[in-house]
Amino acid sequence: MSALARASATQTRRLPGEKPHLSERAKAERRLGWLLSAPSVAVLLLVAAYPILNAAYLSLFDYRLTDPGTRAFIWFKNYRVILTDNIWWSDLGTTLLITVVTVTAEFAIGFAFAMVMNKTFVGRGAIRTAILVPYAIITVVAAYAWQYAFANNTGFVDHWLGTNLDWFGARWSALFVICLSEIWKTTPFVALLLLAGLAQVPGSLKEAAVVDGASWWQRLLRVTLPNMQGAIMVALLFRTVDAFRIFDNPFVMTGGSNGTETVSILAYRQTIGRTEIGLGSAMSILLFLGVSLICFIFIKLLRTDVGRVTDS
């Protein structure tokens, strides 16, 4: 080791036997930090953690609200019932289908929107206002709008297309409209996120690619998208989780009938419709686990960097 290196190695020595000691100021800062964060964490625990734990507890019971006398502890029988029932799997399939279709469409269309908005300078404010409306509008209102548009009697779609379909009477046409409504509502949000990510790609990178002779498509694939990867993955994670939890649109449009029921609606039906608290709670827990699995896949397996949000 050179003399300089040796000399510098002694700079970071620890004084023997000394514990890192905190000054009064640092201690006070810690206390204040905990004090200020405590209300938030407490509220979160109360309004979210507690109900989930409660649901987990209730899921172990055979409990029908309208017949409380027969409430009984049955371990995991509810789960077995659910997981061996065709309806559960069919609904899960429906949910996953909707998830895949809507998320894919939202990102494809959203990206196109983002690129348009990126190049638009005049009237940017107007466009932003316009696309915020679907984001801000109540989902139920959107559901009614789309429903009435496609409804046989009140709607104009059949008239325009010259068809006479009972859109909500069959599974695939109903799912089509549900997905349309969902895509319409959330694409703007995705577009905004992607636009922000797009704006972050340094112009100099794109210019360097142009000079190197890359075509528009190549620039998109090799320069723009890779540099947006972080933002895209985070947006994907949240949209996927949201889509998996879908409730409002199918509930309003079809009530979940004709093969359009999603797992959220199923859980609702059990708990509120049939007042099967035990079963409904078990489904809630399964739903919760499903969402957790999605998060796990994204964060651990696909290495989505959520740290960008949580860390300084």
Partner 1 sequence: MTAISIKHVSKRYGDFVAVDDVNLEIADGEFMVLVGPSGSGKSTLLRMIVGLEDISDGDLLFGDQRVNDRAPRDRDLAMVFQDYALYPHLTVYENIAFPLRLHKVAGDEVDKRVRSVADRLELTEFLDRKPANLSGGQRQRVAMGRAVIRDAHAFLFDEPLSNLDAKLRVQVRTQIARLQNQLGTTTVYVTHDQVEAMTLGDRVALLRRGVLQQVGSPRDLYAKPSNLFVAGFMGSPPMNLLPAEIRPDHLSSPFGDIPFDAARLPASLAGKDVVIVGIRPEQLVDASLLDDDQRGRGARLKGRIDVLEWLGNEQLAYLPFKAPDAIHQQLTDLQKELDSESDQTQLIVALPDASKAHEGAEIELWLDPGDLHLFDPATTENVTLGQKATG
Partner 2 sequence: MGVGAIAIVVWALAPVVWIVSLSFKQGDDIDNQQFWPTHWSLENYKTVFQTDLFTSALRNSLGISLITTVISVVVAMFAAYAVSRLEFPGKRYVLISALAVSVFPAISIATPLFNLWRSIGLYDTWVGLIIPYLALTLPLAMWTLTSFFRQIPRDLELAAQVDGATTWQAFRRILVPLAAPGVFTTAILAFFVAWNDFVFGITLTSTDRARPVPAALAFFSGASQFQQPTAAIAAASVVVTIPVVVLVMLFQRRIVAGLTNGAVKG
Which parts of 22-41 interact with partner 1 (CB under 8 A)?
A: 23, 25-26
Candidates 11-19, 34-42, 226-234, 268-276; binding stretch for partner 1 (CB under 8 A)? 11-19
Q: Which of 16, 17, 39, 213 binds partner 2 (CB under 8 A)?
A: 39
Q: Binding partner of residue 23 among partner 1, partner 2, none, CB under 5 to 8 Å per kind?
A: partner 1
Chosen from partner 2, partner 1, none, partner binding at 259 (C-beta under 5 to 8 Å by type): none
When computed from its CA atoms, the radius of gyration of the chain, rounded to whole angstroms, is: 26
In residues, how long is the chain?
Answer: 312
- Minimum distance from CB of 290 to partner 1 (Å)? 42
Whole-angstrom CA distances from 224 to 192, 201, 298 are 16, 6, 21
In the list 98, 103, 178, 195, the residue contacting partner 2 (rule: CB under 8 A) is 195
Q: Is 72 in the site for partner 2 (CB under 8 A)?
A: no
Residues 16-52 as b or e (16 or more Cβ within 10 Å = b) = eeeeeeeeeeeeeeeeeeeeeeeeeeeeeeeeeeeee
Which part of the chain contacts partner 2 (CB under 8 A), choosing from 12-20, 78-86, 142-150, 211-219?
142-150
Q: Is 297 one of the binding residues for partner 2 (CB under 8 A)?
A: no
Considering only residues 80 to 109 of the shown chain, the ones binding partner 2 according to CB under 8 A are none
Question: What residues from 217 to 276 belong to the interface with partner 2 (CB under 8 A)?
Answer: 230-231, 234-235, 238, 241, 244-245, 247-248, 251-252, 264, 267-268, 271-272
Q: For the packed helices 225-244 and 86-119, what is the interaxial angle rounded to 10 degrees?
A: 140
| Region of 7-15, 76-84, 131-139, 204-212 interacting with partner 1 (CB under 8 A) | 7-15
Residue 295's binding partner among partner 1, partner 2, none (Cβ under 5 to 8 angstroms by kind) is: partner 2
Name the residue among 74, 253, 68 with its Cα closest to residue 166. Answer: 253
- Binding to partner 2 in span 148-187, by CB under 8 A: 148-149, 153-156, 158-159, 184
Instruction: Please give the single-letter amino acid code of residue 166.
Output: D
Among 7, 8, 9, 41, binds partner 2 (CB under 8 A): 41
Q: How far is the CB of 2 from partner 2 (least distance, A)?
A: 37
Contact 237, 304 (CB under 8 A): yes
DSSP H or E stretch at residue 72: strand 72-73
60 interacts with partner 2 by CB under 8 A = no
Rounded-to-integer distance, Cα 271 and Cα 82, Å: 13
Q: Which is nearer to partner 2, 175 or 193 (CB)?
A: 193
Residue pair 248/242 in contact by the 8 Å Cβ criterion: no
Secondary structure element (H or E) that encloses residue 62, with its range = strand 61-62
Judged by CB under 8 A, the number of residues near partner 1 is 15
We find the least distance from the C-beta atom of residue 35 to partner 1, in angstroms, to be 20
Six token digits for residue 226: 């890779």
Distance CA 100, CA 195 (A): 22
Q: What torsion, rounded to 10 degrees, do the Cα atoms 281, 287, 292, 295 define?
A: -160
Residues in touch with partner 1 (CB under 8 A): 2-5, 7-8, 11-15, 20, 23, 25-26
